[in-house]
Amino acid sequence: MSQTSTQEEQTPPQGVGHDALVVQQFGTQASAYVASLTHAGGDDIGQLAALIAPGAKVLDLGCGGGHVSYAAAAIAGSVTAYDLSSDMLAAVRAEAAKRGIGNLTTVQGPAETLPFPDASFDVVLCRYSAHHWQDVRQGVREARRVLKPNGVAGFADAIAPESAVLDTFLQTFEMLRDPSHVRDYTAAEWVAIASEAGFGLTGVTRRRLWLDFDSWIGRMRTPKVFVDAIRALQAAVSDPVRAHFEVQPNGTFTIDTAVFELKAL
C-alpha cells in the first residue's frame, strides 16, 4: 500500500554513531517494514527458503520485517531472527505470534559481532540488510564463522551496476533517501567478499526490482528537502541513466538485485 511524504517527517539525526543511526531510521518504522509489500513479496524469498533442509537451524541475519524468517519457519527446525533494532524485533515477534509461528526466536545485535558460537547454524540467510552494515566483509566473515561445515548461505540485496556513472547515481539516490545507507555492492564485489570469507559460490540469480516512489520514501519518512533533491537529480540525469533505472515521471524507478547462493568451504 502506497504511503506518501505528507506524513510526519523524520528530522535528520546529528551526532550519532552509525549503528544508532540505523536503529533510529528503522526502529520507528518497524511496522511499515512488516507490512511492506515490497519486502513481503518477491521470488527471492522463495529462493532463499529453498536453501533450507527440513529441520535445519536457520539464522536470518538482519531480519528487518521478518519476511524471510516467516518463510523459513515453515521448513526449519528453528529460526533465529537477528537484527540491530529492538523495535523491529518486537514487531517480528508480534507478527510471528499472529501467524502462530512457534519455532522463531529473536536476538538483537550488529552483524559484525554475532553472539553465537562457531558452527551454530545449518543455514544463514540475509535479505536487504548488508548495504547498511558498517563493515560488510566482517559481517560476511561472521556469517561464515557461525555456519556448520558444509553449511549454506543465501544473501539477497540490491546490487550496484558495474558502470561508474550508474553506480554513483544509485548510491546518491539511496543516501538522500536514507542516511544509514552505506553501499550497494556490485556483483563482482559480492563474489570477492564471499570468497575472502571462506565461501564457495554455487549460484547467482539477478533480478530487477520496481520501486514505487511514494512507498519507497514513505517507509523512511524521508524529509521533503531530500525528496526534492532526489526528484531534481532524477530530472537532471542523462538519458542512459534514466533508461537503466527506468525512471518514471512520478519518480518511480527500477534497481538491480541479486541472490548469491553460497556454501561454507
Quick check: pTM over 0.75? Answer: yes
Q: What is the separation of C-alpha 139 from the centre of its chain, rounded to a whole number of angstroms?
A: 13
What is the pLDDT, as a whole number, of residue 2?
33
Higher local confidence (pLDDT), 137 or 220: 137
Provide the percentage of residues in the chain whose pLDDT is more than 90. Answer: 82
CATH 3.30.1540.10 assigned to domain 18-162+179-210+256-264? The reply is no
6 pLDDT band (50/70/90 cuts)?
very low
Name beta bridge partners: 204. 260
Average pLDDT over residues 129-157: 97
Q: Residue 21 pLDDT more than 70?
A: no
| CA atoms of 122 and 7, how far apart (whole Å) | 42
List pLDDT tens digits, range 68-102. Answer: 999 999 999 999 999 999 999 999 999 999 999 99
11 pLDDT band (50/70/90 cuts)?
very low
Contact (CB, 8 A) for 67 and 93: no
Strand order across the beta sheet in which 104-108 lies: 104-108, 78-83, 57-61, 121-127, 147-159, 253-264, 199-211
35 pLDDT band (50/70/90 cuts)?
low
- Of 21-30, 56-65, 85-94, 145-154, the one with minimum mean pLDDT is 21-30
Please provide the size of the chain in residues.
265
Q: What is the separation of C-alpha 105 from the centre of its chain, rounded to a whole number of angstroms?
A: 19
List pLDDT tens digits, range 187-241. Answer: 999 999 999 999 999 999 999 999 999 999 998 899 999 999 999 999 999 999 9
Please give the mean pLDDT across all residues of the chain. Answer: 90
Amino acid of residue 150: N
Average pLDDT over residues 41-49: 91
| CA atoms of 248 and 262, how far apart (whole Å) | 35
Higher local confidence (pLDDT), 92 or 14: 92
